């Protein structure tokens, strides 16, 4: 029976020198191609995100294929869904988590992400991409919680945690439901879940797990 693939939740600053974990993710995929969805950057020059990813993965011996799923009709397109379904390494880049969620939620493309992951593909998300992969999702408008896409449930992610003020972080943690792990991830840092369900941290910074108002360990994660 095939296990779901690795999941990498990146705190932002993706595709830069300190993102050493990407080489291992590429290796774990078993292929050299990374399918990049710049959906969250639809209104922030998505082509620039693709160019950055292309340069970065070329240095790792990989190649990038961009899938420009930028609006809801793109996410409803069966050809795009099939491209996702057949990929072995999917990467959701940063930008607007609310736009990313609205484009992908309950769409053929998101269903294809789930199917690819369940068939063993690597799924990575950075910043907005990391936020929406989980459910619940931290609402960027105020730090409370809203619906995410739920590839991983009962987990909430705060990216760019090294730049959050203590007051803002405390507000979000204090609003979490009982038992919910809220995980702050620094930029250029990845929280990685392997196919067996074990979690580890790689990259330049730290990962901080909060649960029930206290700092917890990775064993608190689902």
pLDDT (tens digit per residue) in 49-88: 999 999 999 999 999 999 999 999 999 999 999 999 999 9
- Torsion sign (Cα): 1, 196, 221, 149: negative
User: Can you give the pTM of this predicted structure?
Assistant: 0.97
How confident is the model over 164-196, as pLDDT tens digits? 888 888 889 999 999 999 999 999 999 999 999
Q: Which residues pair with 90 in a beta bridge?
A: 35, 123
Q: Where are the domains of the chain?
A: 7-220
Q: What is the pLDDT of residue 141?
A: 86
DSSP assignment string, 62-86 = -EEEE----SHHHHT-HHHHHHHHT
C-alpha closest to that of 220 among 205, 204, 209: 209
Q: What is the pLDDT of residue 170?
A: 85
- Average pLDDT in the 2-21 region? 96
How confident is the model over 15-50, as pLDDT tens digits? 999 999 999 999 999 999 999 999 999 999 999 999
7-220 maps to CATH 3.30.390.10: no
Angle between helices 21-29 and 46-59 (to 10 degrees): 80
Q: How far is Cα 139 from Cα 115, in angstroms, rounded to an integer?
A: 26
């Amino acid at each position: 029976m095939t296990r779901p693939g690795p999941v990498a939740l990146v705190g932002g600053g993706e595709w830069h020198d300190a993102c050493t974990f990407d080489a291992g993710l590429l290796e774990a995929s078993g292929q050299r191609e990374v399918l990049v969805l710049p959906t969250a950057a639809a209104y922030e020059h998505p082509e620039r995100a693709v160019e950055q990813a292309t340069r970065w993965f070329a240095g790792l011996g990989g190649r990038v294929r961009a899938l420009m799923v930028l609006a809801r009709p793109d996410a409803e397109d069966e050809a795009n869904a099939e491209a996702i379904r057949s990929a072995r390494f999917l990467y959701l880049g940063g930008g607007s988590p609310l736009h990313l969620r609205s484009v992908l939620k309950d769409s053929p493309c998101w269903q294809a992400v789930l199917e690819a992951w369940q068939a063993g593909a690597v799924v990575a998300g950075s910043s907005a991409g990391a936020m929406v992969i989980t459910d619940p999702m931290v609402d960027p408008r105020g730090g409370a919680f809203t619906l995410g896409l739920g590839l991983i449930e009962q987990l909430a992610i705060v990216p760019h945690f090294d730049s959050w003020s203590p007051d803002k972080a405390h507000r979000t943690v204090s609003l979490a439901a009982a038992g919910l792990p809220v995980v702050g991830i620094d930029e250029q840092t990845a929280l990685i879940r392997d196919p067996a369900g074990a979690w580890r941290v790689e990259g330049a910074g730290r990962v901080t797990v909060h649960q029930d108002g206290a700092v917890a360990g990775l064993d608190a994660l689902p």
